[in-house]
């Protein structure tokens, strides 16, 4: 009898597959999720092979205990994707495949619940009028539930229960009262045709494409087989419209086809989701567009993932983790803001979602569109060599919207001339903000540093507030009245006097977003100031609320970190001020310039989107720096070509391939010694002549949480040689001791 044994991948840091006996009724198939005993626990495994024999002695073999009925087998193509990612990023298959699944699928105790119908509750029109006012003021839990219903439009049973343990009983009572409508959706049900947005669909205005947009859409539509495109479009040039049209054409051409659209940040998903839902309301049911990101509740994430996996979802919109979604009919991929470092996962499996998206397109022979105003040098170089097709949108899409003018404010000059400034805000910048305030337009200040000040210092003895656990300063947070370490989370109260010398004149050093927010109150009196950064948006959903305040015009000046720089289509922002960008000009990291340029182009792009003349003011001590000059001319192409030439001369990526071995030890010596041994082991590998190892060095912030960190960079002219060497290196690395942890990153971004 065949097929009695299965080889299973487990989430375990080794390459090995594990043999099990299979005695269940249903036939085993590769790609099935199964529950198997492992040691003393039960774990989830993925069947990779079905065999008639096993070399494991019968008395050592254990049995598969269950199959996950909620999840039809993953396809051979998906297994190949996981296999490629595992090989390329130097991991085991199980270590890649299992964490790629939603949590609910990795926990067998929840499998049955996934099959249960999904219960949804939404407010009826009567409910909308009556709640929460009909509830007693003291019934706070009930009011919260009503508010959550009103805010979200609908709640599923799990989300409701999370708000209140007795929520379901309450919701049922509200159903009786006619305030709430209840819907029960069978597991795996086809998307309903009834569509909440369908009525509005007829009224959706589809803009006439510009010539450049039309050319781009046509080129994408005409592609056959693997076709990588780089859509290089200035900010506001209507890249989203190109994606929408290309997808519409695809759905028209291939009924049932699926598309994957990646965005770099969770905060950008609502804007995209809304645009996609409206545009496709007539063609697709609501359920056919799903999002996948880490902000979803686990149940919702599992349902959306399964909708993609079973082909019910046609457009999957997500952040980087969505690149590993199972999409059996995937026919096009889009990566918006493809240059964004957020596409690189920085822990666990350190993968690049953009690179995996391109690999998937190649595997399936389908188009992939990488969009950006400031493409990564890697992608740009691909177009220069003719491997990717470049599509250019050189103008803003809206007729009277033009790119903003960029001006540099020379801070030295301001100082020399003795011109007034307000706490780091130069005179010209303040004047420009006041002019906007008078005209009822919005200003945006970009400062990539949250907190009140980078640290606190004593003038008389030179003491600087540092973290006891890290080799880093602690950041002063004024509203929270705390000193906080941004590396390990250590926190303490703000001291009244210098802990070293007792001096009471200790003062904040440098400026963060909170301090700028404070300075604005006196610099631009009467302005409504809003700060958006990781601190002000800690609570779930609060970022969305803050952004809608900006869109609603309830804010005059928006201060924020890179969270406000990306992708948002602010209609009334006509001024962008850039503060303290100079630090990045002199970084050790060869990518710092590329990143800064992209960030400043992005944030500049927030100005003047809807016909208001936009202006960008950059405060700097280095107004003659080449990067700022390229920025002032909005000259990405010039900047990119210079950078490419520099990288070529200096033998840096994309002209070499790199990997980084990082070690964490109790002492720096231990970490460095480990890396020295690792380098030694590398030279013993056949073929390693083509791979060069640099000297091991401490990380810039060498100590975090009392752990000392160092790294060893290896590189090669040949990707294949590097890959082969890394694979051969692994057993030697595993045999080494003396550090707490180590990891290997392929194509590292931060060096
Ligand atoms: P990008 O992503 O390139 O920065 P967006 O996709 O945000 O640009 O588009 C900028 C604005 O231009 C949006 O408000 C969009 O609705 C509008 N837009 C896009 N294409 C057109 C067009 N062909 N005609 C008129 N408006 C357009
Ligand atoms: Zn002191
Ligand atoms: Zn710390």
Same structural domain, 235 and 330: yes
**Spatial contact of 122 and 154, defined as CB atoms under 8 Å apart:** yes
Residues 48 and 95 in one domain: yes
Q: 316-328 pLDDT, tens per residue? A: 999 999 999 999 9
146 within a domain of the structure (yes/no): yes
Q: Which residue has the tokens 């990997």?
A: 659
Residue 460, in any domain of the structure: no
Residues 619 and 715 in one domain: no
- Which of 372, 374, 398 has most ligand 1 atoms within 8 Å of CB, for mutation? 398
pLDDT tier, 199 (very low <50, low <70, confident <90, very high otherwise): very low
Residue 94 sits in the same domain as residue 230:
no
**Pick from 73, 92, 113: which residue ends a domain?**
113
Report the percent of the chain where pLDDT is more than 90. 72
Q: d(Cα 228, Cα 220) in Å, to the nearest integer?
A: 9
What is the pLDDT at residue 437?
Answer: 97
Q: What 3-state class would DSSP assign to 370?
A: strand
Q: Is the pLDDT of residue 717 over 60?
A: yes
Indicate whether 387 and 311 sit together in one domain.
yes
State the closest ligand 1 atom to the C-alpha of 235, by its place in the atom list counted from 1.
4
Q: What is the mean predicted confidence (pLDDT) over 78-106?
A: 95
Decide if 400 is inside a domain: no
- The pLDDT of residue 203: 59
Inter-axis angle of helices 513-523 and 427-439, to 10 degrees? 70
The tens digit of pLDDT for each residue in 390-435 reads 999 999 888 777 889 999 999 999 999 888 788 889 999 999 999 9
**Domain-embedded: residue 458:** no
The CATH number assigned to the domain holding 13 equals 3.40.1440.60
499 alpha carbon, closest ligand: 2
Q: Whose CA is nearest to atom 15 of ligand 1?
A: 238
Q: Would you state the structure tokens that stand for residue 514, as one six-digit string? A: 């909170």
Q: Beta 691-693 vs 557-560: how paired, if at all?
A: unpaired
Q: Is residue 487 one of the residues assigned to a domain?
A: no
Per-residue pLDDT, averaged over 549-572, amounts to 90
| DSSP state for residue 74 in the 8-state scheme | P
State in Å: Cα 473 to ligand 3 middle: 8
Q: Does 365 fall in a domain?
A: yes
Q: How far, in Å, are 627, 692, 718 from residue 649 at the CA level?
A: 18, 17, 17
CATH number of residue 578's parent domain: 3.40.50.300
Q: From the CA of 475, which ligand is nearest?
A: 3
260 in a domain, yes or no?
yes
Closest-CA residue, ligand 1 atom 26, reads 398
Residue closest via CA to ligand 1's atom 16 equals 238
Last residue of a domain, one of 113, 141, 176: 113
Same domain, 606 and 664: no
Domain boundary among 600, 617, 643: 643
Parallel/antiparallel/unpaired status of strands 18-21 and 5-10: antiparallel
Task: Please tell me whether residues 616 and 672 are part of one structural domain.
Answer: no
Based on the domain organization, do 534 and 633 belong to the same domain?
A: yes
* Tally of residues, the chain: 751
Span 204-214, average pLDDT: 91
H or E element at residue 319: none
Does 311 share its domain with 224? yes
Res. 184: pLDDT tops 60: yes
C-alpha 420: how far from chain center: 40
Contact present, 183 and 117 (Cβ < 8 Å): no
Q: What CATH number has the domain bearing residue 705?
A: 3.30.70.360
200 vs 204, residue with greater confidence: 204
**Do 209 and 174 fall within a single domain?**
no
Nearest CA to ligand 1 atom 19: 238
Examine residue 473 and state whether it is found in any structural domain, yes or no: no
Residues with CB under 6 A from ligand 1: 207-210, 213, 233, 235-241, 397-398, 569
The protein residue with its alpha carbon nearest to ligand 1, atom 1, reads 236
Number of structural domains (the chain) is 5
Q: Give yes or no: residues 171 and 214 share one domain.
A: no
SS3 content of the chain, % helix, strand, coil (to 5): 35, 25, 40
- Give the domain range for residue 180: 118-185
- C-alpha of residue 457 to centroid of ligand 2, in Å: 8
Closest ligand to Cα 456: 2
Residue identified by tokens 């859409």 is 217
Per-residue DSSP letters for 569-581?
A: --SSEEEEEE-S-
Proximal ligand: closest to the CA of 239: 1
Do 208 and 304 belong to one domain? yes
195 secondary structure, DSSP code: -
Atom of ligand 1 nearest to the CA of 237: 3
């Amino acid at each position: 009898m065949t097929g009695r044994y299965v080889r299973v991948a487990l989430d375990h840091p080794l390459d090995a597959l594990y043999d099990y006996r299979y005695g269940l009724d249903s036939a085993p198939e590769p790609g099935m999720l199964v529950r198997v005993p492992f040691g003393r626990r039960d774990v989830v495994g993925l069947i990779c092979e079905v065999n008639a024999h096993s070399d494991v002695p019968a008395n050592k073999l254990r049995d598969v205990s269950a199959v996950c009925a909620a999840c039809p087998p993953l396809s051979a193509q998906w297994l190949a994707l996981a296999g490629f990612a595992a090989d390329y990023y130097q991991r085991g298959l199980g270590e890649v495949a299992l964490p790629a699944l939603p949590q609910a699928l990795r926990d067998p105790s929840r499998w049955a619940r996934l099959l249960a119908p999904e219960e949804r509750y939404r407010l009826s029109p009567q409910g909308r009028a009556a709640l929460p006012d009909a509830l007693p003021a003291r019934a706070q839990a009930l009011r919260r539930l009503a508010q959550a219903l009103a805010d979200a439009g609908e709640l599923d049973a799990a989300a409701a229960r999370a708000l209140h343990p007795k929520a379901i009983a309450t919701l049922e009572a509200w159903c009786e009262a006619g305030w709430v409508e209840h819907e029960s959706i069978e597991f795996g049900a086809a998307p309903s045709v009834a569509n909440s947005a369908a009525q509005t669909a007829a009224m959706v205005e589809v803009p006439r494409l510009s010539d450049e947009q039309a050319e781009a859409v046509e080129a994408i539509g005409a592609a056959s087989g693997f076709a990588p495109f780089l859509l290089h479009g200035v900010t506001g040039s209507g890249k989203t419209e190109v994606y929408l049209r290309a997808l519409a054409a695809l759905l028209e051409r291939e009924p049932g086809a699926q598309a994957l659209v990646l965005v770099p940040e969770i905060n950008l998903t609502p804007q995209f989701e809304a645009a996609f839902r409206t545009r496709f309301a007539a063609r697709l049911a609501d359920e056919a567009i799903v999002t996948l990101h880490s902000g979803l509740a686990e149940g919702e994430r599992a349902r959306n993932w399964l909708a993609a996996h079973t082909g019910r979802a046609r457009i999957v919109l997500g952040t980087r983790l969505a690149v590993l979604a199972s999409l059996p009919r995937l026919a096009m991929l889009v990566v918006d803001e493809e240059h964004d470092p957020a596409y690189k996962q920085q822990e666990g499996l350190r993968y690049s979602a953009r690179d995996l998206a391109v690999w998937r397109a190649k595997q399936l022979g389908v188009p992939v569109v990488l969009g950006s105003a400031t493409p990564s040098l890697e992608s740009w170089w691909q177009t220069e060599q003719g491997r990717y097709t470049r599509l250019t949108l050189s103008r803003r899409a809206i007729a009277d919207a033009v790119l903003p003018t960029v001006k540099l404010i020379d801070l030295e000059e301001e100082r020399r001339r003795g011109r007034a400034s307000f706490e780091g805000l130069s005179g010209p910048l303040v004047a420009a903000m006041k002019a906007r305030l008078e005209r009822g337009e919005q200003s945006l200040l970009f400062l990539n540093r949250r907190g009140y000040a980078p640290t606190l210092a004593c003038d008389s003895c030179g003491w600087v507030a540092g973290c006891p656990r890290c080799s880093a300063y602690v950041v002063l947070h004024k509203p929270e009245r705390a000193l906080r370490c941004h590396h390990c989370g250590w926190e303490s109260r703000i001291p009244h006097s210098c802990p070293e010398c007792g001096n009471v004149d200790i003062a904040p050093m440098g400026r963060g977003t909170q301090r700028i927010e404070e300075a604005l109150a006196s610099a631009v009196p009467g302005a409504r100031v809003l700060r958006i950064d990781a601190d002000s948006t800690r609570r779930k959903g609060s970022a969305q609320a803050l952004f809608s305040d900006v869109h609603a015009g309830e804010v005059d000046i928006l201060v924020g970190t890179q969270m406000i720089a990306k992708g948002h289509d602010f209609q009334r922002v006509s001024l962008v001020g850039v503060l303290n960008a100079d630090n990045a000009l002199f970084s050790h990291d060869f990518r710092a310039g590329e990143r800064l340029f992209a960030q400043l182009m992005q944030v500049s792009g927030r100005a003047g989107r809807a016909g208001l003349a936009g202006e960008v003011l950059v405060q700097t001590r280095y107004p003659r720096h080449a990067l700022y000059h390229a920025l002032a001319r909005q000259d990405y192409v010039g900047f990119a070509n210079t950078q490419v030439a520099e990288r070529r001369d200096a033998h840096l990526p994309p002209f070499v391939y790199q990997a980084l071995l990082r070690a964490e030890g109790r002492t720096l010596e231990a970490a460095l010694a480990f890396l020295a041994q690792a380098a030694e082991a590398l030279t013993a590998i056949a073929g390693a002549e083509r791979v060069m190892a640099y000297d091991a060095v401490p990380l810039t912030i060498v100590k975090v949480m009392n752990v000392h960190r160092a790294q060893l960079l290896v590189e090669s002219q040949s990707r294949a040689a590097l890959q082969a060497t890394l694979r051969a290196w692994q057993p030697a690395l595993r045999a080494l001791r003396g550090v707490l942890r180590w990891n290997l990153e392929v194509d590292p971004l931060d060096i």
